[in-house]
Amino acid sequence: MPKKFISIDLDGVLNNYRGNYEKDKISPLREGALDFIKKLASDFNIEIYTVRDKELVKDWLKENDLIDFVFGITNEKNPKTSIFLDDRAINFNGDFQCAYESIQSFKPHWK
């Protein structure tokens, strides 16, 4: 069975981003992220989903020993992706009222 794709946001998920965006600097690796990625890599093709410069991200992945577990880096939604993991996402469960309430009260985990 071929591996499914998972798209993982970089800032706020894999690193310690807390709203302090710097164009040329990526926050340090979040504790536990390396082990998490290693586990996922056995079952998924991992794409890093980010608006950041791909070369900057590639260098960061190398520095943090993640590059060998990552299938690709993208800023576009991949139609093959089965799961998105993001610190600024709301899961739609089919109920617009529930979605509206979630949107109104939303805060990323780092706020």
pLDDT of the residue at 34? 97
Question: How does pLDDT run along the chain (111 residues), one tens digit per residue?
Answer: 789 999 999 999 999 998 888 999 999 999 999 999 999 999 999 999 999 999 999 999 999 999 999 999 999 999 999 999 999 999 999 999 999 999 999 999 888
Ordered by start, the domain boundaries in the chain are: 4-104
User: What is the rounded CA–CA span in Å between residue 108 and residue 17?
Assistant: 11
Q: What is the 3-state secondary structure (H, E, C) of the chain?
A: CCCEEEEEEHHHHHECCCCCCECCECCCECCCHHHHHHHHHCCEEEEEECCCCHHHHHHHHHHCCCHHHCCEEECCCCCCEEEEECCCCCCCCCCHHHHHHHHHCCCCCCC
Q: Which residues pair with 92 in a beta bridge?
A: none
- Read off the pTM: 0.90
CATH node for 4-104: 3.40.50.1000
